[in-house]
Amino acid sequence: MQKTTSEKVSKTAPAKNAGVERFLAVRTRTEALAAPLSAEDMCVQSMPDVSPTKWHLAHTTWFFETFILQNFDPDYKVFDETYNYLFNSYYEAVGERHPRDRRGMITRPPVAEVINYRNYVTNAVAGLVEREQNPEVMRLLELGCHHEQQHQELLLTDIKHVLYQNPLKPAYSNSPADPPVSAPKINWQSLEAGIYEIGCPGESFSFDCEGPRHKVYLEHFEIADRPVTGGEYLEFIKDNGYRNHDLWLADGWTLLGETNQTCPLYWEQGDNGWEAFTMRGMVPLNLGEPVGHLNYYEAEAFARWAGARLPTEAEHEVMAVNQGIFEPGMVWEWTASAYLPYPGFKPASGAVGEYNGKFMSGQMVLRGGSGATPKDHWRPTYRNFFYPSSQWQFSGLRLAK
């Protein structure tokens, strides 16, 4: 997700103390995620889509400084005037910014200084919030926490890509790999045709693109009760799936011709069979785990090969709510829906909302959430979105028919 950040105004502002506690917990967790990394790991940008860890650490801090401290704390002294240029992302109203694809050039400030920046801003925000009961600040605080949680997932996704570029294939974590698992048989869940409602009901925090809540007419459909596994995807490969043009969208087939890709990103055929690069380094492919790092074309081709299709985002959401799924799943799942505005969508105004809906072209919606998605960040109406060619996310699929 390209980090939309403007929120829908929640009806009830959270209690002040809880807000500060959550804020501090989110800040601490980001730093914990960066802890296993060296200064060099945190500085490098492996492709334009990837941001360095240091940039994530600083940008999420810049967000609180810019939208809360500079607007609501008259005594606040900016940590470093240059950071607005360095660590702004796409908020054009807030000024010029460093080009996205040059983020890896920022060797200075060093990580240690960025940690100082984090502490300085964290303390200032906590102090401000404890002094005042400003509901707008509390809403921005919640927004900032969700924004930072988005970047927590991106931080993990991005550092995985960075480490994979290294021929040594270093592990992010030294904890043991998951034991081999086997997946249960798919059970198909069905739903009758009719009018359903989807989108954010508006009682708690959500991003603006999740609303307005609105009616959709759905035909009868069936949807699998779990994502597709690596083992199932391997059957597709063995059945010559990457070489059979009947299975592929034209854009996907063209892309295959350019990349010569024959398996998902991070999969490699080793001397002892298939392996995958994980946060724990290269490990034998775990056949029972959900397949990830697919692009949309791969997901769509697999579904066609399996005699099924991808669900729409409405089908996915209705079924998740019906089945009481209120926390993220194992992988983000590509849906058959393009990322477009819901009927009646109106972007919020002002700098925070500047880019509401700016990304609503050319991207597809993913639903479900991944193991890298913070649990208290996710809700069933959550719309993640990426370009069809993107592979570096924890992105798989679930079948429908």
Instruction: Tell me the two tokens of residue 133.
Output: 């009961």
With respect to a second copy, which residue has the nearer C-beta, 20 or 200?
A: 200
What residues numbered 306-365 form the site for a second copy, per CB under 8 A? 336-338, 340-341, 343-344, 354-355, 357-362, 364
| Number of Cβ within a 10 Å radius of residue 329 | 21
d(CA 64, CA 46): 27
With respect to a second copy, which residue has the nearer C-beta, 79 or 205?
A: 79
CA angle 261, 265, 266 (to 5 degrees): 125
According to the binding rule CB under 8 A, does residue 170 interact with a second copy? yes
**The binder of a second copy chosen from 9, 15, 25, 105 (CB under 8 A):** 105
According to the binding rule CB under 8 A, does residue 94 interact with a second copy? no
Shortest gap between Cβ of 44 and a second copy (angstroms)?
5
Sign of the dihedral through C-alpha 120, 121, 124, 127: negative
Please compute, for residue 99, the number of CA atoms within 13 A of its CA located in the half-sphere on the CB side: 5
Shortest gap between Cβ of 377 and a second copy (angstroms)?
23
d(CA 140, CA 251): 40
Locate all alpha helices (DSSP H) within 280-378, ordered by sequence.
296-305, 313-322
**The binder of a second copy chosen from 68, 162, 263, 306 (CB under 8 A):** 162
**The binder of a second copy chosen from 9, 25, 32, 39 (CB under 8 A):** 39
Instruction: Tell me the two tokens of residue 60.
Output: 């999420």
Taking contact as CB under 8 A, which single stretch among the options 20-28, 69-77, 163-171, 320-328 is the one that binds a second copy? 163-171
**The binder of a second copy chosen from 57, 86, 145, 155 (CB under 8 A):** 86
Phi, psi angles (nearest 5°) of residue 364:
-110, 150
Reference 391, options 366, 357, 374, 358; nearest CA is 366
For residue 330, give the 3-state DSSP assignment. coil
According to the binding rule CB under 8 A, does residue 57 interact with a second copy? no
What residues numbered 183-212 form the site for a second copy, per CB under 8 A? 195
Residues that bind a second copy (CB under 8 A): 2, 38-44, 46, 54, 82, 85-86, 90, 92-93, 98, 102, 104-111, 162-163, 165-168, 170, 195, 214-219, 245-246, 248-253, 296-297, 300, 336-338, 340-341, 343-344, 354-355, 357-362, 364, 388
